[in-house]
Structure 1
Amino acid sequence: MKKTPVLNIALSRLIASLGHGDVVVIGDAGLPVPPGVELIDLALTHGVPEFLTTLEVVLCEMQVERHALAEEILDRKPPALAALERLNLAGALGERSLLSHADFKQLSRSARAIVRTGECQPYSNIALVAGVTF
């Protein structure tokens, strides 16, 4: 059995296969998944798993160079926003870019995969761009 936090086979495989610049989106339960983009569906029920827990586990294994958020998250202020700000200040998320929600959904078309959580707070979505460890 693995010693690292990610036990989900599909999610572990995805992270292990990432190359520099690849995009992974972690989304709430309502984020649409464009045709042709792999969906790793972790959602069990409303709020399970939550967005923040999923993000924190992914960050244990994924090297992140930069990230993107929909600018609407700053207006709606979902519960995860405070933690996102802390992670950003700690350097765990790399450089931040803000996009309109429409542009965020357009960016998700180029993602290697979308990880669907059970989160039901609108705009609880993040696009992570893979970095390198060397």
Structure 2
Amino acid sequence: MKTKFLFTSALLLASVAIFSIITAFQPKKPWVVPGKYVSMKNPVASNAESLKNGKELWIKNCQSCHGKSGHGDGPKAAQLKTDPGSFAPAEVQSQSDGALFYKISEGREDMPNFKKKIPDEEDIWSLVNYIRTLNK
């Protein structure tokens, strides 16, 4: 009986390890942003008030997964199925403000949509302004 339990446990652990390895090497799915958002300009000026508001929203809604500095190292990041990534690399910072607005608003997979949690669009735009400071 003990041998059967050990064998079953070893088989389960091996399955989890293989799944983890396969998942880790799968390419990321591209996050397609509709054209109208790609060309959308941020109507909220990146000033002290907007950045303060964006930082407060970041701390409340984003920091737990994305981390204090946006490096994907928040306390909840390890619980996610998808890597929250870093906001510092050029691949993120080169995205348009509208693309970031869309991704925050709509979400996908582990990234929740924030349309209801942050209903004021100006607040989401302020959050986009704050995200721009994370590459510094």
- Give the TM-score band, short-chain normalised: under 0.3
Select the structure of larger CA radius of gyration.
2
Higher relative contact order (CA 8 A, sep 6+): 1
Question: What is the TM-score with the length of structure 1 in the denominator?
Answer: 0.28
Question: What is the TM-score with the length of structure 2 in the denominator?
Answer: 0.28
Which structure shows the bigger proportion of residues in strand conformation? 1
